[in-house]
Structure 1
Amino acid sequence: MNTEDESFERLAAADPAADAEPRPGVLRAKVDALAGTPAQVPSSGTDELAGRRERRRAPWLVAAGVAGAVALGGGGYLLGAAGAEGGAPTASDEAASEVLPPITLGGARDGAESGGDSAASEAMEGQAATEDSAGASSSADISLPGWHDGRAVFSGSGLSDEPGTAAAYAYDAREVATEAGAARLAEALGVAGEPRWEWGSWQVGPRDGDGPSIWLSADGTAYFSYNDPAADPWRCAEEPVDAQEREDAEGGADVIEPAPCAQPDRPEVSPQEATDQVRDLMEQVGVDPSGFAFDVPDDGGSEGARWVSATQVVDGQATGATWSATVSDDGIAWLDGFLAATAPLGDYPVVSPAEAVERLGDPRFGGSSWPVAYAQETERMLEESVEEDGGEPTPPPAPPSSGGDLPWPVSEVTITEARLGLTQHHDAGGAVLLLPAYELSDAAGNTWSVLAVAEEALDTTSS
């Protein structure tokens, strides 16, 4: 058995970003940047600090670890933008807790673009697997709503029927996602070397990871990544291995395992100091930090570094575009961000909340019978549906009686609240837009979403 392949498959299967599709060049650039450095493999899809603690890894693990980092990127790769252009509103350093969340189109079973709660999504997937297995109980046993099977009829209650207008935006990376832009970025960050085009991105710095390096993607958001190994609190030097011992190992003797790196101490850098460092760096690369809301987790300093995130805010709402940084006592060790300007496209007609409800379930407008977020009670039911039963074996389900009505549950959902916000849209050419969208909720707290732009302002011709 090839234990490396088996371990790789287990790691890949656990990757929460398995359905995301980052550009191959960007992924390759990240692999090249990490291949010469100590281990960076995340132990979970969302714990960047834990990933960077795992310092020892075989080269075959690099690709799997990078796939998660690139796809998630602190909320970054498929999202992103930097400063405002042409008068786009800024966040004025709003606290993250005061910013309205971004809106995502499509339901929680719609794959990479889902905005649904991850725990609930996992429960839904677990429920599907349970229903497919022998002896599984029917979802009807816990009275799951009809939209659990993808069928629902929507109506509104107490919603306005007045249409309106709302602003739309686009990210413009044409001035920054270039060779000259990579050179300016490297100079601002103190990275030595000339830009080179490799695997679909501009890169500056050593390939072996022995010094600071950047790579800049030529995409619609000018996404970039920066790494300074000197500031990495989990980096440690390899102990030399005796030549005879290595030869014995390669000849079939016991494999030599390097000594583990020492656990870094709790950093002395405070959350505010870490935030200030990220703000200063954003200004160095030409991004206005006032357009972002900053956050540092309370436990971010318990394991060697502070984890700082900066969420872009437009019109008082998070866009889903973020910067993220790992800050140690020696400075910024890792940074992911975006350089594209946020350009206003003007005001567009939007449908009323009442008409938005009618769009749910219509794929032309990003509607879906599946919620993008679940009420707590719904999450509880979904979790209960996949819990292992430690009691008596369950009998197989009984078929319907002959001549009886066939089961085909359809939920009747009443939408009681509507919020107009922004959603990210990636067009066929790679451009990234921020478009008006509605977040629609029922009385229980389940939430759906749909595009708000009126049909007359949409080009619906197929390419």
Structure 2
Amino acid sequence: MIDHDDEALAKLRASDPATGSHPDLHSLRALISTKAPASQGTDRVTAVHDDAFRGPRVHAPWIAAAAVAAFAMGGGGYALGAHTAEPQPVAGQPGAGNGDTEDGAEGDSAAMGGMAADGASITEAAGEARSEASMGGAGPNYDMGPVRLLPGPGLPTERGTAPVRALTSDVDAEEFLTTWAERLGVEGVRPDPEEGSEGWYGETVMIEPDTLRILSVSSEGGGGLRFNYEDQLNSPYCEDMYSGALPEDLEMMREEWVKAMGPDIPPPDPSMCTTPEGSPPSEEQAVAAAEDFLASTGLDLSGYTFQGVDYQEPGSSSITVEGWPEGMRGSELAMNLTVGPTGVVSAWGAAGEMTSLGDYPVISAVEAVERYAQREFGMEYGVTLPEDMMPYEGDMSSMPVPDYTVPPPVPVEPGMQIPLLMKDKVVTSAELTTGTMWTQSAGNMEVPAWKLMTDDGMHYAVLAIADESIDWIAWE
């Protein structure tokens, strides 16, 4: 049975566009290695394809590591965050709260019929865990149940146009990988997956068989350059990824590894893990090591700020460092590195320039309220505003819970109407702003979005691009 109360899984959920903090990829790796979180609809970060995990006892740490790398490479959608030049107020999607319940009348979402404590089933709820500062200091942090938005008087009814931008790069991924490997001294080979089997790290990847240092680069679809580095055997999570694995599980892992990597890259073994020795580096030491490592990429990172992330895993032997260009924290151009006693054990980032795709027609604010009720816009394709990706300013274990009251259960009787909780909220004002969303192109795009505001201080973001500029591509 999957335990949904893990701190790492909570952080995985927090990295979704529905909430608001940077993903900690390495805590996710430790979690995913021993658990198989089910897909929550089509959320681009929480939805982990779990075919490799099927079965009651399967542990697939190296598949998990590849999945985490996919997040960083853009295949996971929002792991690299949102981009905008001018920070805007937050608007978001569903969140979940904590609280005590008495007689089922008041408390948190766990007390509401049909709503899981982790908020996974509150698919129509809106709001997010965010600081009061990011909300202007007013209103609750999130809705405690499902809501329905209604347009208020005076909302703009006019349509218009707004720009769309995407991260692009003219750097050749193959050339970048070759040069990067030489600078790092990685003598790697290319995976040779069996026919009909897909590799775990994309097409432009190099793995050093003896050390399992992995370099992968992507510039698919003409998008930005995304790079990822993993020093698997020196990772503080290497041994944890095998914890509790039965012999038959290990054998299955080896078989899957050979299918994905080919005969020239031997399967990893728990005995190959190197236990990190020594104290974790200080933040100053970690930042210096991160900057020195990134110099190997040859990228111009002058003007970037690097610092330790606000949340560091208790008891870990490593420090996580993040970097961003001036004024663009949480942007598409984010960098993230984990530094242990021996140096950098993992890193991911993106490089390129934000390129204009032109001005696009946008719907009115009144139409945006109606659009929020549509599944494809209110649930499948949410828009993240810049401050959604900012770290929560406070203790995540004690975020404030707004006051609310749940009506008592309706007695069951023949012919009764089926009782469903729903709160109507009137949108009193709206602002056309800029956010980021995942697309079936080269990854994230910077798009116009309506920020819909209600009089309780809540904010809701909706894609503003008009229907005639959206190409719905069918999948099979």
**Fold-level match, TM-score > 0.5?**
yes
Q: Name which one, 1 or 2, has greater alpha-carbon Rg.
A: 1
Task: Tell me which residue corresponds to 2:125.
Answer: none
Offset at 1:310? Answer: 3.0
Return the alpha-carbon distance in structure 2 between the equivalents of residues 370 and 377 of structure 1: 24
Q: Render the CA deviation track for 1:211-236: whole Å, top value 9, x for unaligned.
A: 63312346455543213468656779
Task: Tell me which residue corresponds to 2:356.
Answer: 344
1:35-434 correspondence to structure 2 within 5 Å:
42-43=30-31, 60-63=59-62, 65-66=64-65, 69-70=68-69, 73=72, 77-79=76-78, 100=88, 107-108=93-94, 116=95, 127=112, 129=114, 152-156=148-152, 159=155, 165-172=161-168, 175-177=171-173, 179-193=174-188, 195=190, 198=193, 199=199, 200-208=202-210, 210=211, 212-217=213-218, 219-220=220-221, 222-228=225-231, 232=235, 264-268=277-281, 270-282=282-294, 284-289=296-301, 294-297=306-309, 300=312, 303-310=316-323, 318-319=330-331, 322-339=334-351, 341-363=353-375, 365-366=377-378, 398-400=411-413, 407=419, 410-419=422-431, 420-427=433-440, 429=441, 431-434=443-446
Letter of the 2:321 partner, please give it.
V
Q: Does the residue aligned with 1:183 lie in a helix, a strand or coil? A: helix
Identity %: 21
Q: Which runs of 5+ in 2 are unaligned?
A: 16-24, 34-56, 100-107, 118-142, 194-198, 240-246, 248-269, 389-398
Offset at 1:305? Answer: 2.2
Return the alpha-carbon distance in structure 2 between the equivalents of residues 442 and 224 of structure 1: 40
Return the alpha-carbon distance in structure 1 between the equivalents of residues 416 and 470 of structure 2: 47
Letter of the 1:42 partner, please give it.
A
Return the alpha-carbon distance in structure 1 between the equivalents of residues 464 and 28 of structure 2: 41
- Is contact 1:186–1:214 with CA below 8 Å preserved after alignment? yes
Q: Does the residue aligned with 2:30 lie in a helix, a strand or coil? A: coil
Return the alpha-carbon distance in structure 2 between the equivalents of residues 278 and 232 of structure 1: 15
Number of residue equivalences: 351
Letter of the 2:280 partner, please give it.
P
Give the TM-score of the pair, scaled to structure 1. Answer: 0.56
What is the alpha-carbon root mean square deviation over aligned residues?
A: 5.4
CA spacing shift, 1:189–1:422, aligned 2, 3 Å: farther
Return the alpha-carbon distance in structure 2 between the equivalents of residues 183 and 311 of structure 1: 25
Q: Does the residue aligned with 1:205 lie in a helix, a strand or coil? A: strand
Return the alpha-carbon distance in structure 2 between the equivalents of residues 196 and 131 of structure 1: 42
CA spacing shift, 1:235–1:359, aligned 2, 3 Å: closer
CA spacing shift, 1:451–1:328, aligned 2, 3 Å: same
CA spacing shift, 1:453–1:331, aligned 2, 3 Å: same
CA spacing shift, 1:283–1:41, aligned 2, 3 Å: closer
- Is contact 2:167–2:354 with CA below 8 Å preserved after alignment? yes
Q: Which runs of 5+ in 1 are unaligned?
A: 1-8, 21-29, 46-57, 83-87, 92-98, 109-115, 133-146, 237-245, 247-256, 386-394
CA spacing shift, 1:72–1:205, aligned 2, 3 Å: closer
- Is contact 1:102–1:421 with CA below 8 Å preserved after alignment? no
Q: Do residues 447 (structure 1) and 459 (structure 2) align?
A: yes
Task: Tell me which residue corresponds to 2:260.
Answer: none
